[in-house]
């Protein structure tokens, strides 16, 4: 039992790190470009979600009928968790430690749940408790920049893959009319912010 719990903990930790890279690959290669004849994710995300929610005031929900374009379809979660688990099935078969797979499934399900909830709160803010946290504040700015630069900041939950794979963007390259709100940081170029402070003093 102790061995199972140990390998479950390993699977859980590895699963969270792996989920960041899985999210990155999924977001970049399936949700922002057609994958052969498979265009469902590209159409739902790049052509619908990004056209509805931009980086300006439309980053936050304007029309109530667009609410359904914020989350993924209900069946996406189970499908993604199953696909994400394949490497851990192989690892568990190879090592004989099925705790690895159990830990990864828990990590994948939790990661997906956090992704959906945070993404919902980002585009439909309501002064929830999570929206007052510093982590949400920073991740919201991270995601806002993705809506400005669609080939940057692919991660929503854990930007580890963005950091490692060269797509991390901390501030905008140019000044733009960005979304505003209590849980939205200023992502304008730093030199522009300094110029504005100097001009106002």
* Residue 173 neighbours by CB distance under 10 Å: 11
What pLDDT, on a 0 to 100 scale, did the predictor assign at position 192? Answer: 57
Shortest CA distance to 55 belongs to which of 127, 144, 121, 115?
144
Bridge partners, 35 (sequence order): 38
Shortest CA distance to 45 belongs to which of 64, 67, 77, 72?
72
**Dist. CA 23–CA 39, nearest whole Å:** 17
Domain limits at 71?
Answer: 2-200
Q: 162, 168 in Cβ contact below 8 A?
A: yes
Displacement of CA 18 from its chain's centroid (Å): 14
What pLDDT, on a 0 to 100 scale, did the predictor assign at position 167? Answer: 98
For each successive 10 residues of the chain (201 residues), what is the average pLDDT?
Answer: 92 98 98 94 97 97 96 96 98 96 98 98 97 98 98 98 98 96 96 48 36
- pTM (whole model) above 0.85: yes
What residue has token string 């849980």? 183
> Looking at the 3D structure of the chain, how many domains does it have?
1
């Amino acid at each position: 039992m102790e061995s199972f719990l140990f390998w479950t903990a390993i699977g859980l930790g590895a699963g969270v790190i792996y989920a960041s890279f899985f999210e990155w690959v999924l977001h970049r290669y399936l949700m922002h470009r057609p994958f052969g004849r498979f265009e469902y994710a590209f159409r739902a995300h790049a052509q619908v979600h990004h056209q509805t929610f931009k980086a300006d005031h439309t980053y936050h929900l304007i029309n109530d009928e667009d609410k359904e374009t914020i989350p993924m379809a209900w069946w996406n979660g189970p499908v993604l968790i199953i696909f994400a688990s394949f490497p851990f099935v192989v690892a568990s078969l190879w090592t004989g430690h099925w705790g690895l797979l159990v830990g990864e499934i828990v990590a994948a399900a939790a990661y997906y749940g956090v992704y959906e909830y945070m993404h919902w709160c980002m585009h439909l803010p309501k002064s929830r408790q999570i929206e007052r946290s510093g982590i949400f504040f920073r991740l919201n700015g991270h995601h806002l920049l993705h809506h400005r630069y669609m080939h940057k900041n692919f991660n929503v939950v854990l930007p580890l893959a963005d950091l490692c794979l060269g797509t991390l963007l901390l501030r905008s390259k140019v000044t733009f009319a960005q979304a505003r709100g209590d849980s939205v940081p200023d992502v304008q170029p730093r030199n522009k912010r300094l110029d504005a402070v100097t001009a106002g003093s």
